[in-house]
Structures are given as structure tokens and as C-alpha cells.
Amino acid sequence: MSDFTIYSDDAAKVQRLMTAYQASVKAEYIVLCHRDGSIIAEVGSLGIDATPLAVLSTASFDSARQVGMMLGGENFQAVSFTGESRSIYIAPVDRALLLVQIFPGSKLPNRIEDFNRLLVEKLVDAVPAFTQNTSSLVR
């Protein structure tokens, strides 16, 4: 576990942004997590413990980045999987944070990359410490 912390005012901003985003893209569940699997914020519900989802999503994203490097040195910017009843989109906020988004159905929303990029920009504007490169500590 990291020593990651966030102030309550910042947590409220993050929660508001994620809730508005969830409604606009019709996501079932969204979690902002640290790369160690610690959950920072979440909206929606899956009816399961989200910690294993966060940990496995981090591992999946890291594996995909390694595959990207093997295929030419480029890092993948996002990872997605589609299933019969749910789909997932995993993208970084910075080096230490990931957004894991779960959608109902077998397809991701059109232009999910664009919508995700806008949310990341808003999160960074709301809490600039998310992209500080000093450590995993946000104060």
C-alpha cells in the first residue's frame, strides 16, 4: 500500500467530476485507483469488492504496456476488454493513477478516448497534485 492521501475538499471535487462523467458516458462503475491497487474514489456499483478489480486492472494495464514496448517501443495509452455483459476501459491519469471504467453491454461508448481525456484533464485541473512527479503522496 502507498502512503497516498487526499484532502476532503479535493476528494469532493473528484467525486463530483466522476459522477458527472459517469452519467454522461453511461458507465456502470468507475474507480480511480493508485497503481498499487488502492482505491482513491469510486462511483456506481458492481456488487463486488472493487479492490481485486483495481489490482487486476493495474496488472493488466502494466502487461499491455510491456506488450506495446515489445511491438515497437510505443506504450499503449489505454487498455479495453469487451465481454458479453460488460466492457472495461482502463487508462492512466498519470504514472501513479488509473481510471477503470466498467460499461454495461458488449461495446464501449463511441469516442471513449476523447471523453476519458476530458475527464483526466478536469481531474488534473481540480487536483494538480495528481500529476506531481515527486512521489505517490498527494497532500
Q: Which domain holds residue 86?
A: 8-127
More confident residue, 137 or 23: 23
Closest CA to 108 of 128, 129, 139, 87: 87
Q: pLDDT tens across 60-71, in order?
A: 998 988 888 888
Tell whether 138 is covered by a domain: no
Tell whether 139 is covered by a domain: no
> Which DSSP symbol is given to 51?
H
Lowest mean pLDDT among 42-51, 116-125, 127-136: 127-136
Tell whether 136 is covered by a domain: no
pLDDT at 65: 85
Map residue 79 onto helix, strand or coil: strand
Q: How many structural domains is the chain composed of?
A: 1
- Give the residues across from 81 on adjacent strands: 88
Q: CA angle at residue 128 from 127 to 132, to 5 degrees?
A: 130
Percent residues over pLDDT 90 in the chain = 62
pLDDT at 64: 87
Q: pLDDT tens across 111-126, in order?
A: 999 999 999 999 988 8
Tell whether 110 is covered by a domain: yes
Percent residues over pLDDT 70 in the chain = 88
Confidence bin at 74 (pLDDT 50/70/90): low
Tell whether 90 is covered by a domain: yes
Tell whether 1 is covered by a domain: no
Tell whether 100 is covered by a domain: yes
Tell whether 41 is covered by a domain: yes
pTM of the model: 0.86
CATH number at residue 19: 3.30.450.30
